[in-house]
Amino acid sequence: MEVDPQQAEFLKTVKGTTPSGRALDIGCGQGRHTFLLADNGFDSYGIDFLERPINEAQTRSRSEGNKNVHFKVMDALHLDFPDNYFDVIIDWSVLDHIYPKDWQQYLQNVLRVLKKDGFMSLTEFSSLDKRIVDPQHNFRDEADYDHFFREDEIRDLFSKDFNILQIIQNELNTTSHFAMINILMQKK
């Protein structure tokens, strides 16, 4: 997969005040955003709960000789990093696969490892997605859980602990045309 253009735009904003530091890519897959962060001066950590994409990302990292990229199999609900360790966290379509009963645990983990004034970027399924008929019934619980976020849900979950800097809704330019909600926040 290619780098999400919205993530690249958010990164420009982040670099205005945080040109380097440590970054975490939650649900990194094969590491497209982990490598983007590393290429932009961050000591970059990618985690995913699946072993196969982590192995692929590690192979790519070794072949490219990256020194500031680290990959590990890890669950987003159990972040094994020190407190206040990261300056930037990216979550590209992870929270939208976590059941609402676990959102507070996810949030507490993120808050624990993200430094004060650190940035967090979320890209999640949007309730404007054509797969959702009723925005008030904005989830699917079939083989996997998918949540399609409304803006008010994002604000309710994050605004106590984060200043929400930008919320942008867009459609992925893919054959599936998924609608996504992109959020850039800064920890209070």
Q: Above 90 in pLDDT, residue 159?
A: yes
Task: List, for residues 61-116, the tens digit of each pLDDT value.
Answer: 999 998 899 999 999 999 999 999 999 999 999 999 999 999 999 999 999 999 99
What digits encode the pLDDT tens for the residues 13-66? 999 999 999 999 999 999 999 999 999 999 999 999 999 999 999 999 999 998
pTM flag (> 0.85): yes
Q: How many CB atoms lie within 10 A of CB 99?
A: 11
Domain boundaries, the chain: 5-187
pLDDT (mean) for 145-155? 93
Nearest Cα to Cα of residue 6 among 144, 124, 131, 146: 124
Side-chain-facing half-sphere of 143: CA atoms under 13 Å: 0
| CATH number at 5-187 | 3.40.50.150
pLDDT(1) > 70: no
**Whose CA is closest to 27, among 103, 171, 124?**
124
Measured between alpha carbons, how far is residue 78 from residues 61, 74, 82, 113, 155 in Å?
24, 7, 12, 11, 23
Among 39, 38, 20, 25, smallest CA distance to 87 is for 20
Comparing C-alpha atoms, which of 35, 118, 20 is closest to residue 70? 35
